[in-house]
Amino acid sequence: GAGVSQSPSNKVTEKGKDVELRCDPISGHTALYWYRQSLGQGLEFLIYFQGNSAPDKSGLPSDRFSAERTGGSVSTLTIQRTQQEDSAVYLCASTILGGGLLDTQYFGPGTRLTVL
Amino acid sequence: EDQVTQSPEALRLQEGESSSLNCSYTVSGLRGLFWYRQDPGKGPEFLFTLYSAGEEKEKERLKATLTKKESFLHITAPKPEDSATYLCAVQAVVQGAQKLVFGQGTRLTINP
């Protein structure tokens, strides 16, 4: 079966522009996470969707960041008025969240965002 | 505050030279500890999950162990293809939400 997919794989944009990053989770996975990984850093939690519940946005660094998940599947992370410090790899992960091994998060390949 | 610290930050070994990577953690309500492998330009790849102190998991040349305060990833007779960044994460419940808290990773290089 297909894994988590993300698009685009690379995005170069100019400071001040808006960008949209897409994540297609594994079919049947109810939970979806967005992380940011800056050069040489660990993964930073951004936002979490679980089923029909309100998303946990506690990790979003500013109000320029937003995300939505349509139909409980595909998710889009939007960064408005991009800044150079937004340059990073944005990773998406999905999981069933059924307890035990079902809580394992499976990651996509990431989108490398470069803000010039 | 939930924290995960990995050491060393980077490790260079000769092929066949065994060693261990450390992951120490402080978390309230540990539900699981995860090890991932990340190759350059790729997303993390799941390796192991450990749930309770004393538990061990093995996969090829890797063995993960867990105590109440830390986990070790032992690598036995490594090969160059084992070169990667190894990430440790703890699963915690924060305000009702299940989250993974990641360490900074250990960048492992195996020289032929």
| Amino acid letter for position B106 | T
What's the first-to-final CA gap in chain B, in angstroms?
Answer: 41
Residue of A nearest to B87 (CA): A42
Query: How close does chain A come to B39, measured CA to CA in Å?
Result: 10
The reported pLDDT for the residue numbered A100 is 65
- List CB contacts (< 8 A) between B51 and chain A: 100
Per-residue pLDDT tens over the stretch A90-106 = 999 999 876 666 688 99
CB contact under 8 A, B101 and A45: yes
> pLDDT of B39-95, one tens digit each?
998 999 999 999 889 999 999 999 999 998 999 999 999 999 999 999 999 987 766
pLDDT (average), residues A62-69: 95
Q: Name chain B contacts of A103, Cβ cutoff 8 Å.
A: 31-32, 49, 91, 98
Task: List the Cα angle A64/A107/A97 in 5-degree steps.
Answer: 95
Beta bridge partners of B63: B58, B74
Nearest Cβ partner for B43 among A41, A45, A107: A107
The DSSP result for A45-107, as a single string, is EEEEEETTSPPB-TT--STTEEEEEGGGS-EEEEE-S--GGG-EEEEEEEE---SGGGG--EE
Mean pLDDT on A65-88? 94
* A109: contact with B, CB 8 A cutoff: yes
Using only C-alpha atoms, what is the Rg of chain B?
Answer: 14
Mutation target for B interface from A5, A34, A46, A104: give the one with most B CBs within 10 A: A104
Chain A residues lying within 8 Å of B32, measured CB to CB = 100, 103
Q: Kindly state the tokens that stand for A85.
A: 């410090």
Contact partners, residue A62, CB within 8 Å, separation at least 6: none
**In residues, how long is chain B?**
112
Closest CA to B45 of A100, A104, A46: A104
The predicted-structure confidence for A32-54, as pLDDT tens digits, reads as follows 999 999 987 789 999 999 888 88
Compare all CA atoms of chain A with the CA of B95 and give the residue at the minimum distance: A56
In chain A, pLDDT over 90 holds for what percent of residues? 72
Give the residue from chain B lying closest to A5, CA to CA: B43
CA distance A41 to B103: 9
Closest B-chain CA to A92:
B43
pLDDT of residue B3: 87
C-alpha distance from B65 to closest chain A C-alpha (Å): 17
Residue A72 sits at φ, ψ, to 5 deg, of 70, 15
Where is B46: in which H helix or E strand?
strand B45-50
Eight-state DSSP code of residue A64: T
Q: Which of B5, B46, B48, B51 to mutate to test the interface with A (most CBs of A within 10 A)?
A: B46
Burial of B94 from C-beta contacts in 10 A (0-12 / 13-18 / 19+): middle
CA distance linking residue A67 with residue A76, whole number of Å: 5
Query: Between chains, do A43 and B89 touch, taking CB under 8 Å as contact?
Result: yes
DSSP SS3 for A72: helix
Tokens (6 digits) for B48: 């192991």
Rounded percentage of chain A residues whose pLDDT exceeds 70:
95
pLDDT at B29: 73
pLDDT value of position B104: 94
User: How many CB atoms are closer than 10 A to CB B46?
Assistant: 15
pLDDT at A22 > cutoff 60? yes
With bands split at pLDDT 50, 70 and 90, how would you rate the model's confidence at B30? confident
